[in-house]
Amino acid sequence: MSTKSKTIVVDFIRHGEPEGGDILRGRINPELTELGLTQMKEAVCLGEAWQPSASTPGWTEIISSPLKRCRQFAERLSAKMSLPLKVDQEWQEIDYGDWDGLPINEWRKEAAEQFKVFSKDLSALKPPNGETYLNFKERILGALESLSELPDGSHVLVVTHGGVLRVVIPSILGMPFNKSGPLHIPFACFSRMKILLSNSKPSRLLVFHNKGEYPNIDT
């Protein structure tokens, strides 16, 4: 009996610094600052003219959140490297509803009670007029599962958001989803996952996390 297996490499990059300062960004749609664009280029070792270096991964395609702070980079990278680009609604940030756009200090006060309960109960996080955490989690886990359908040998770059990575990485590591606070996920955080499938049963490995801040570490 033959065994069907395949290996898929998935790189994740969080968007760089967006315009607007220290505010909560869910579905509001600011563009990247020049610094934010530079942060993303440097994280994946692209040169000044967007030319790949020996350290730039050899991606086969790009998947991006539709929000400008992700799509802006993904579209330029796709054009410069002649890579197919899929803009996928499933990879966008949680919808914070009425909280969206609040200054961070103000948001922390308004959301404090929900997060206190959330530390024990995932269903407690329900942004007013926004997306519940449970719905958000299921959306991201579904998008993550769909990556297993890529062809063997695929190496995809997913351009996405900090909140998304706080679902993806705990799911790989088996962490509680409401205990991800210690994970450092800065702007342009660059991480890699490997999906191994044998007889259609996937296993996921975290290869590295936030390598952009440590470019000289071998992988």
Q: Is 171 exposed, middle or buried (0-12, 13-18, 19+ CB in 10 A)?
A: middle
Report pLDDT for 212. Answer: 80
d(CA 79, CA 149): 25
Report pLDDT for 36. Answer: 97
d(CA 45, CA 191): 13
Structure tokens at 83: 């890579």
> What is the set of domains in the chain, with CATH numbers?
5-154+164-183+193-210 (3.40.50.1240)
d(CA 92, CA 84): 19
User: Do the Cβ atoms of 165 and 185 come closer than 8 Å?
Assistant: yes
Q: What average pLDDT values come out for the chain (219 residues) when binned by 10 residues?
A: 78 98 96 97 90 92 98 97 97 98 96 95 97 98 96 97 98 96 96 90 92 70
pTM of the predicted protein model:
0.94
DSSP 176-196: -GGG-TTS---TT-EEEEEEE
Tell me the CA distances in angstroms from 70 to 6, 73, 89, 123, 128, one per residue in order: 28, 6, 12, 28, 25
Report pLDDT for 1. Answer: 37
Count Cβ atoms below 10 Å from residue 176 Cβ, excluding itself.
9
Report pLDDT for 216. Answer: 67
- Residue among 2, 10, 6 at smallest CA distance from 191: 10
